Structure 1
Amino acid sequence: MSPPRHSSGLPAPRLARTILIAALLGYALFTTTTVLSTGVSPTAKTAGVLLLLAVLALQFVHSAPGGSRALLPQKCLTLGIQTLLTYLPLVVFHAPWGTVSGYLAGSVLLLLPPPVAWPLYGITGLSMLTPPVLEGRPLIDGIHLAETSLLTGLVVYGLTRLTELITQLHAARGELARQAVATERQRFARDLHDLLGFSLSAITLKSELIHRLIPAHPARAMKEINEVLSIAGQSLADVRKVASGFRDMSLQQEIKTARSMLDAAGIDVRTEVRLGALSLQVDTALATTLREAVTNLLRHSDASRCSIRAVQQEGLVRLVVENDGVDPAYHDPSPHGGSGLGNLHARMTAVGGRLESGPGTDGTFRVLAEVPAKKPQETTAEVRQIMFPPNGSAA
C-alpha cells in the first residue's frame, strides 16, 4: 500500500529522502570528476557526462516513492535503457565509469523479484572485471571497480528501502493516531449515551412524579426533589469522569438505583442478587447494561412488572432484566435512538461476554448479559495501572 502523500512532508521522511538524494548526487559527482580527470578525448568526456545525467535521471525514477510498484513492462524498459547507458561508454569510448554500474546494481535489486534480482546484481558487479582486463590494466583495477559497483548498489538499495520504510512508518503512525481519536470519540459518545440516557430519564420521571405529589403530598415531593438533585449531581460527576477517560460503576449500586426508579414509576420490581467479587471492567459493563435496560423500559414500554436477576455461579455472572410491557410495533423515531443496545454489545464483547435481547412469546422483553466474573489475569489494580500509568498520562 502506498503511503499518503502528506506523510512525505514529515521531518523524518523528508530527512531520509534528502540523504538518499545527497548520496545519489555524491556518487554522480564522484563519477563526473573521474571522467573529467582522465586523458580521454573531449568528445568522450562530454558524452560521458551527458550519459551520466541520463543514468542519474533514471535512478531518481527507480528510487522514487512507488517506483518498485510500477508495471513489469515499464520496469523492464527503464532497466534496459539504464543497462545500455551504463555499458555504452565502456564499449564505445573506453571511458572510466566509476560508480555508475552501482546505480544499475541497485536498480536491479529495487525493481526485480529477489530470486532474479540478486543473481543479476552479482553479474552486474562481476562484469566490471572485464573492462580493465581488455584495456590491459592490472586485474586489481577490475576488482576495485567490481567491489565499488557492488557496494554502491547496496547503498542505493538500502537507502531507498529505508526511505520507503520510514515514510510508511510515519503514515502508519498517523493512521493509528486517527484511529485512536475515532475510538476515543466513540467511547465518549457511548459513555455519554449510557450515562445521560438513564439520568435524564430518571430526572424526567421523578419531575413528573413531583408535579403530581406537590398538591397532596408536599413532604414526599420534597424527598423526590432531593433525589432529583442527587441524580443531577451524580450525572455531572459521571460526565467529568467520562471526560477524564475513566469511569467505574457498581452493579450492586445500580440495582438499588434501578429499584428506586421503577418503584417511583409504579412498576412492581422483583430482584434476585447473588454476586461475589467482580473485576472493575465486568462490574462496570454489567452496571451499564442494567442502566440501559431500565432506561429503555421507562422510555419505550408500558410495563407493570419487572424482574432483575444478577447471579454469579461457577465463574460466570448472568444478568437478566425482564419486563411485561413490550410493544412489538414500537419504533423510536430519534436518529440516535437505536445506539444503546449496540453500545452494550460492544461493551460485553470487550470483556469476553455476550448479550442477548428481544421480545418473548408471552409479551415480555428480556435482556440477558453473561460474562466471566473476572477476565484472565485481571485485577482492579491492573486495570487502573493500564488506565493511569505511573507517568500520570491516560492510556
Structure 2
Amino acid sequence: MDSHDRSGSADESRGSRPEAVTPPSPSIGIPVSRPARALLVATLLGYALLTTTGILSAGMPPTAEAISLLLLLPVLALQLLHSTPGGSRAPLPRRCLTLALQALLTYFPVVVLGTYWETMAGYLAGSLLLLLPPRVAWPLYAAVGLSMLVPPLLDARTVIESAAFSHTTLLPGLVLYGLARLTELAAHLHTTRAELARRAVTGERLRFARDLHDLLGFSLSSIALKSELIHHLIPTHPQRAMEEAGEVLTIAGQSLADVRRAAGGYRTLSLRQEIRTAQTMLDAAGIDVRVRVELATLSPHVETELATTLREAVTNLLRHSKARHCAIEAVQQDGLVRLVVENDGADPAHHNPGPHSGNGLGNLHARMTALGGRLETGHGEDGTFRLLAEASAMRTADACAELKEITFPPNGSAA
C-alpha cells in the first residue's frame, strides 16, 4: 500500500464540479420574509395615517398644515429605506447622512412650525436603533424620546400630556425596530434553509459516492484477483477453478446486496466477517497472513467503520504493493478497539496521478475522526506499510449520525 496516492482535483474537493447536484431554488414556495415585510410596511403606513389625522385635527394654519403633510412623504421613504434588511451593513457615512436628513425633516415642523409630529419622531428613534451600534443607538433613542417632552412643556401643557408625546415616540420606535429585525431574521432564515437543503443534497451525494467506493473497490478487486486465479487453474486444476468461481459468484452477490443497502441508507458490516474475507483473499493471492482477533461487543457504527477501513487497507495492499507477508490485528482493550494492518512490499515512492485513483485514506481519516478516533499510516524503513485505526468501542447512534454528513474530496487518496 502507498499513502502517497492522494492526487485529486482542488475544484472537486471544494464541491465546484460542474456536474454537482443543483440545490433547491430559494424561490420555491412563499418566502417567510414576505409576510414580515408586509407587516412592517402596514405598520409604517398606519403610523403615517395616525400622524396625518393628528395634523388635520390640530387646527394649524393652512400653510403649516400643508408643509407638515408634504414632509410626511420623504420621512416615510427614508424610514422604508432604513428598515430594509441589511441596512445596518451600509457604509457608515451613508447611514449618517440619511439619519441626519431624517432628523432634520423630523424636527423642522416641531421647531419652526410649532407643530407636533407624534409618531413621526418614533420613526427617527427606530431608525437610530436599526442603523447605529447599540452603545450609540440606545442613548440617542432615549434622547429623541426626551426631546419630545420639551415642546409641549413650552406650550404650557401639563407634564402628563408631555409624557404622552414622549410615549408616542418611544413606543413606535421599539415597534418599528422589532418588526424590521423580524423581517431581516425571516429573510436570513429563508436563505439558511435553502443553504441547508443544498448541503443536504451535496452531503447525500458524497455519502453515496463514498459508500460505493468503499464497497465496490474491495469487491471488484476480489473478483479480479479470483478471476485471474481461475484463469490459471482451469488447465491444471479444474475442480479448484470451479470452487473459486463459486466464490466469485458469492462475492458478486454480496456486492449487489451491499450496493442496495448503501442506496437505502446506512449499512452495517461485521469486522470479524471482513477479517475472514480478507484472510481468504490474501491467501488466494499467495500472501502469508497472520491474524490476531480479540474482540468483545462493539457498537454497530464503530464495527462498520473499522470493517470499511480493513476493506480499504486490503484493497490498497493488493493494488499498490508486492506484499508477501501481512499481519492483521483487531484488539479491544480498556474501552478502545484498535485495528492494525501491516504488510511488506510497499513502495514509498508510489504515487498514482490518475484522476480516478480513489478516495482511500481521505475517506478513512474522515470516518475515524467523526467517530472520535484516529487513523495513522506510515512507511517503515524496511519497505513495510502500517495502518492503525483506533476508536472507542461503544458509540451511540447520535454520536455517529454525523457520518452521513461528512464531505469527502472526490479524489482524496489511496493507500
Structure 1 consecutive aligned stretches of length 4 or more whose deviation exceeds 4 Å: 5-10, 382-387
Matched residues, number: 379
Contact 1:132/1:142 (8 A) holds in 2: yes
Question: Which residue of the other structure, out of 214, 232, 239, is the alignment partner of 2:234?
Answer: 214
Question: Which residue of the other structure, out of 76, 86, 91, is the alignment partner of 1:71?
Answer: 91
Contact 1:48/1:89 (8 A) holds in 2: yes
Structure 1, unaligned runs of 5 or more: 388-395
Please show how residues 147-226 of structure 1 align to structure 2 within 5 Å.
Answer: 147-226=167-246
- Are 1:292 and 2:312 an aligned pair? yes
Structure 2, unaligned runs of 5 or more: 1-24, 404-415
Task: Report the Cα offset of residue 10 of structure 1.
Answer: 4.7
Question: Which residue of the other structure, out of 252, 255, 258, is the alignment partner of 2:278?
Answer: 258
* Partners of 1:163 and 1:353 in 2: CA distance: 43
Question: Which residue of the other structure, out of 336, 353, 365, is the alignment partner of 1:333?
Answer: 353
* CA-based RMSD: 2.3
Any idea what the Cα deviations from partners look like across 1:197-243, whole Å, max 9, x if unmatched? 00111111111111222222222222112111111111111111111
Change in CA separation of 1:385 and 1:302 when aligned onto 2, cut-off 3 Å: closer
Any idea what the Cα deviations from partners look like across 1:233-288, whole Å, max 9, x if unmatched? 11111111111221111110001000111111121212111111111111111111
Indicate the residue corresponding to 2:21 in structure 1.
none
1:216 alignment partner, SS class = coil
Any idea what the Cα deviations from partners look like across 1:160-196, whole Å, max 9, x if unmatched? 1111122222222322332233322222221111101
* Partners of 1:371 and 1:133 in 2: CA distance: 76
1:239 alignment partner, SS class = helix
Any idea what the Cα deviations from partners look like across 1:26-80, whole Å, max 9, x if unmatched? 1112212222333223322221122111111111111111111223322222111
Indicate the residue corresponding to 1:82 in structure 2.
102
Change in CA separation of 1:8 and 1:25 when aligned onto 2, cut-off 3 Å: farther
Letter in 1 for 2:52: T
Question: Which residue of the other structure, out of 388, 392, 405, is the alignment partner of 1:372?
Answer: 392
Task: Report the Cα offset of residue 138 of structure 1.
Answer: 4.3
Contact 2:26/2:190 (8 A) holds in 1: no
Change in CA separation of 1:357 and 1:60 when aligned onto 2, cut-off 3 Å: same
2:328 alignment partner, SS class = strand
Task: Report the Cα offset of residue 116 of structure 1.
Answer: 2.4
2:386 alignment partner, SS class = strand
Letter in 1 for 2:201: V
Query: Percent identity among equivalent residues?
Result: 66
Indicate the residue corresponding to 1:27 in structure 2.
47
Contact 2:122/2:169 (8 A) holds in 1: yes
Specify which structure has the higher proportion of helix: 1
Please show how residues 1-395 of structure 1 align to structure 2 within 5 Å.
Answer: 10-375=30-395, 378=396
* Partners of 1:347 and 1:8 in 2: CA distance: 34
2:32 alignment partner, SS class = helix
1:312 alignment partner, SS class = strand
Q: TM-score, normalised by structure 2?
A: 0.85
Task: Report the Cα offset of residue 372 of structure 1.
Answer: 2.1
* Partners of 1:57 and 1:321 in 2: CA distance: 71
Letter in 2 for 1:374: M
* Partners of 2:170 and 2:394 in 1: CA distance: 59
Change in CA separation of 1:63 and 1:6 when aligned onto 2, cut-off 3 Å: farther
Contact 1:104/1:153 (8 A) holds in 2: yes
2:257 alignment partner, SS class = helix
Deviates more, 1:14-23 or 1:215-224: 215-224
1:215 alignment partner, SS class = coil
Deviates more, 1:34-43 or 1:191-200: 34-43
Letter in 2 for 1:361: E
Change in CA separation of 1:177 and 1:370 when aligned onto 2, cut-off 3 Å: same
* Partners of 1:205 and 1:117 in 2: CA distance: 74
* Partners of 1:178 and 1:92 in 2: CA distance: 57
Letter in 2 for 1:333: P
1:307 alignment partner, SS class = strand
Structure with greater contact order relative to length (CA < 8 Å, sep ≥ 6):
2
Letter in 2 for 1:33: T
Letter in 2 for 1:363: G
Contact 2:26/2:194 (8 A) holds in 1: no
2:286 alignment partner, SS class = coil
Q: TM-score, normalised by structure 1?
A: 0.90
Change in CA separation of 1:77 and 1:175 when aligned onto 2, cut-off 3 Å: same
Letter in 1 for 2:343: N
